[in-house]
Structure 1
Amino acid sequence: MSTKPRKAYFAPDNLNDPALTRLIFRLGMPAVAGLSINAVHHTINMVFVGMIGSHEIAAITVVLPILMMIGAIGEGLGVGVATAIGRALGAGDPQRANVTASTLAALTIPLGLALTAGILMFRRELLVLFGASDAILPLAEHYLTIVAVSVTLTMLQILADFIAISEGNTRFSMWTLIGCFALNIALDPILIFWFGFGLAGAAVATILSQIAALAAYLLYFTKRVGTLHLAMRFATLRMDILKPVLLIGLPTTLTSMLSSISFAVLFTFAGFYRGDSGIAGVGIAMRVLILGMLPIVGLSLGGQAVLSFAWGAKNPTRLLTASATLLKLTSGFAVLYGFGAVLLRYPVAAIFTNDGEIAEIAALTIVVTHVPFVFFGARQILIVLLQAQGRARLAGIISVAQNGYFLLPLLLVLPHWFAFAGVIASLFLAPMLTAFMSLALLVVTMRQLRGHSSSVTITSFNSTVSERAS
């Protein structure tokens, strides 16, 4: 294949393509594939670690909330950048999109280095806070020390993914993640078993695969494969550039931060009532849940580029149609995955462990977390629709609901009354309450869009009649 056809294959899609459903599939399915591969990547990592022992599974489980906090900051910046870029491109202002992308890429590097220093300085305190027992603390501390070095790499990779997706290039993101996944899976058994690095080998394999992914994105931006041009000369600290990104990004970051805190409390109570088996069993179920969440997030990310572009172009009819299409696709998948996980809970748990107690806890937790999962698609589309419209406050309220003002209070109350059963009940009630609130707000938001769409249609019709009469 010559350079020109390859560059054409990786060129961004036209976000104003009139074939809207086809465009959503073209953008959404590579994002689904990419993030699903990313989820499988982390899941297979856990399978390899499970071959070492149950203490190792528990160790990476207590590190998970810390990694989620790092990912939360990267995701917040990425979502904020993506929506700002989408609206700028929709409004016909590519230079503003270039400045936004370049500014956030430049700011991510010192931010990542500062976070690495903080984690290394307080790693033991963080792990104890997140429920590490004396038995797993040395393993978790060693693993976290290695992973902390890759914080900047993680954040840059997340940001690069969002920038590419925001300009309609989900294919490049997908193939980059596939390459990253393949390299990590190849390195895991080599570093963990052949070289005898154990748990540290899993961390090193992840870092090496991240470096390879960033090398691919460096080529993408320097060779100008996409429409955006990232350069240090475009970086600026102007508030008119930073404010829209932060208004959307901060609620997203806060949401994931609260998820990390909720996970810390969750694992603490799981360990208190059921020991390391409780931590490992709940951790397995949460991995399975994340595996189902990421395809929906991927599809909504691909669709968000269309939504943000439509809003920037002041086209509510297109925004409404795209939102309805995304809602059908994500809700359909959520129902199939949720009930499939419930029906196959024991075989799924057995993939991760041969310990009977851990498998039983994992199977029970899979049931209570995956029944309410059927509503996750509606919640996710509501959030990206509000973000595309720049309604950051309302999007933030929905984002923080489940793991913020629902799950945390439930975890602080129910386990004291019902012990481990209270932990399980909290994992069921929090997403169900969030689902009821999200569905109600989604109905209101879609009605508002229909009203705007009707107004635009009437105005357009009147303008056409006036032009013909004159």
Structure 2
Amino acid sequence: MPEKHKELGKANINRLLLKLSFPSMIAMFANAIYNIVDTIFVGRGVGAQGIAGVAIVLPVVAIISSFAHMIGIGTGTLISRQLGRKEEEKVNRTAGNGFLLVILVGAFFSTIGLLFTNEIMRAFGATPTILPYASDYGQIVFIGMLWFPFCVSTSNYLRAEGNARDAMNAMLLGILVNVVLDYIFIFPLQMGMHGAALATISGKFTTLIYLIVYFRQPNHVINFRFRCLRLNKHVLKPALSVGLSGFGMRSSSSVANVVLNHTLGALGGDIAIAVFGVIYKITLFFGMPLYGLNQGMQPIVGFNFGADKPERIKRTIKLGFMYAVGYGILAIIFFQIFAEPIFGLFTKDQNLMQEGPRALRIIISMMWLMGIYQTTMGAHQAMGQPRAAFVLAIQRWVLLVTPLVLILPHVFNLGLDGVWLAFPLADFLGTIIALIFLFVTLRRRNIVR
């Protein structure tokens, strides 16, 4: 039996956090860079309506991904706590439940998406001019939903047993294939939206092959065993109750994007939707390292919560805050200074360039606080606190951004500026709420006195 996971309860916290976080950060950075490159290719090869079409499909993919995250985070953090309690015989039973459930989820959403592509695109805000682009992209992406959720979900298992580097390698390999095929399909082969979508699902298929090979090797704690592929309510109930926060975080942004797309369409038309489509990709780039830090922190907190080592939990959370805020401040300075050239990478459309950089500066102005509530939510997930984790997961998009998007445009006739201002106000309020939740949870669990 491998011993790597046991260092979660013994090794120096700072070195351990960096060791687990850096591979996740690199993978997330690479994923964010891919998202930007993909949008640049679509913007240069198809045009502003192509960007808007991708912006319509993204929330749909995010909702499907949210189910995969629910399964992966829930079963992954349960595995971490089981390893901390030295219940290694239960690990593969938990993983088997996750494997089977995420396969079923992928098959379900792929079928629904292919049957009702146009209807789904309209529901998510596609205007008549954007619909052909969104549908062309969405139809092919829905085929990839057969394996995309498996890739999203099961990467959590690699990190749970301390193999963050393999999780990184799986993602990087898929991204590399994706970017190369993006260029080939969109430019030399002139395949447009179909080419961008084919590149996306091909990259994820490469990641799938990597993960299958990994889980079939006998020298890991977690193995893909057919006899463990069964659903057990005693495993899934505690896992999914915690994983529900992962679902909430990803799906809540999609729910908000539906409101955003309709609001933007009413206030500013296709151009406003395209502007936010670019900004959304840029903010993904901003946030990905924070997600990577969160992923590196969770196995440490989960293991030591199971092993009843409160000092290591406190130390991990404090370091998470320190690194997250430090990165956030540096990133904000960079994006504020270089807003125009960054936005200009995606398009030369003067209508987009007139509004885009200014909107970007407003939206990201308080995002340096994002790391605080990300770390807080991740700690609650790792400690198996489902209710608090769920509230923290949905607070930004559902409880704060969505109501503010609906209200602020009508305050002092702010219009589109009201949409952009909703984001920094939500980030500020969300941080205060997150810190209150964390203090109460740590007191109740006697981690702080």
TM-score band, normalised by the shorter chain? over 0.9
Amino acid paired to 1:35? M
Could you give the per-residue CA deviations for residues 325-368 of structure 1, whole angstroms, max 9, x where no partner exists? Answer: 11111111111112321221111111111112212322122212
Contact 1:12–1:226 (CA under 8 A) maintained in structure 2: no
Relative distance call for 1:330 and 1:398 in structure 2 (3 A) is: same
Aligned to 2:120: 126
Shift of 1:315: 0.9
**2: CA distance, partners of 1:34 / 1:311:** 26
What is the number of residues matched between the two proteins? 446
What is the one-letter code of the residue matched to 1:396? F
Counterpart selection for 2:384 from 379, 384, 390: 390
The one of 9, 14, 20 equivalent to 1:21 is 14
- What is the root-mean-square deviation of aligned Cα atoms in Å? 2.0
Residue 255 (str. 1) matches residue 249 (str. 2)? yes
Residues of 1 paired with 2:152 and 2:219: CA distance?
A: 18
Maintained 8 Å contact 2:291/2:374 = yes
Structure 1 residue 436 corresponds to structure 2 residue 432: yes
**Shift in Å, 1:58:** 0.8
Partner of 1:278: 272
CA deviations on 1:269-288 (whole Å, 9 max, x unpaired) are: 11222221111111111111
User: In 2, Cα distance between the equivalents of 1:361 and 1:445?
Assistant: 42
Asked if 1:181 is matched to 2:175, the reply is yes
| Deviation (angstroms), 1:61 | 0.7
- Residue 32 (1) aligns with residue 25 (2): yes
Contact residue 2 and residue 221 of structure 2 kept, 8 A: no
Is the CA contact 1:368–1:424 (under 8 Å) kept in the aligned structure 2? yes
Shift of 1:190: 0.8
The answer to whether the aligner puts 1:42 opposite 2:35 as a matched pair is yes
What is the CA–CA distance in structure 1 between the aligned matches of 2:407 and 2:83, rounded to whole Å? 48
Match in the other structure for 2:327: 333
**92 and 56 in structure 1: CA distance in 2 versus 1, 3 angstrom threshold:** same
SS at match of 1:149: helix
Unmatched 5+ residue regions in structure 2? none
Name which one, 1 or 2, has greater alpha-carbon Rg.
Answer: 1
| Distance in 2 separating the partners of 1:334 and 1:68 | 23
Asked whether the 8 Å contact 1:269–1:415 carries over to 2, the reply is no
- Contact 1:63 1:144 (8 Å CA) reproduced: yes
Instruction: Tell me how far 1:29 sits from its aligned partner.
Output: 0.4
Alignment of 1:19-418 (within 5 A): 19-52=12-45, 53-417=47-411, 418=414
Offset of 1:313 from its aligned partner? 0.6
Q: Deviations over 1:58-95 (max 9, x none)?
A: 11111111011111111111111111010000000112
297-306 vs 264-273, greater mean Cα deviation: 264-273
Alpha-carbon distance between aligned partners in 2 of 1:268 and 1:373, rounded to the nearest angstrom? 24
Give deviations 1:273-315, integer Å, cap 9, x for gaps: 2221111111111111111111111111011011100001111
436-445 or 426-435, larger mean C-alpha shift:
436-445
Deviation at 1:453, TM superposition (A): 5.0
Normalised to the residue count of structure 2, the TM-score between the two structures is 0.95
Structure 2 partner of 1:467: none
Cα-to-partner distance string for 1:38-66 (whole Å, 9 max, x where unaligned): 11111111110011211111111111110
Which amino acid in the other structure matches residue 38 of structure 2?
Answer: N
In the TM superposition, residue 448 of structure 1 has moved relative to its aligned partner by 5.7
Label 1:149 to 1:454 Cα distance change in 2 as closer, same or farther (>3 A).
closer
Deviation at 1:439?
Answer: 2.8
Query: Contact 2:105–2:149 (CA<8 Å) still a contact in 1?
Result: no
Q: 1:129 to 1:234 in 2, by over 3 A?
A: same
User: C-alpha distance in 2, partners of 1:122/1:454?
Assistant: 51
Residue type of the alignment partner of 1:64: L
> 2: distance between equivalents of 1:207 and 1:11?
33
In structure 1, list runs of 5 or more residues that go unmatched. 1-7, 456-470
**Offset at 1:234?**
1.6
1:12-33 Cα offsets, whole Å, 9 max, x none, are 6732233221111111100110
Amino acid at match of 1:406: L
Instruction: Tell whether the 8 Å contact from 2:364 to 2:423 is kept in structure 1 after alignment.
Output: no
User: What's the TM-score, normalizing by structure 1?
Assistant: 0.91
Equivalent residues of 2:442, 2:448 under 8 A apart: no
SS of the residue corresponding to residue 305 of structure 1 reads: helix
| Cα deviation digits, residues 172-199 of structure 1 (max 9, x gap) | 0111222111111111111112122111
Which position in structure 2 is the counterpart of 1:461?
A: none
Percent of aligned pairs with the same amino acid: 27
Counterpart CA distance in 1 for 2:205 and 2:148 is: 9
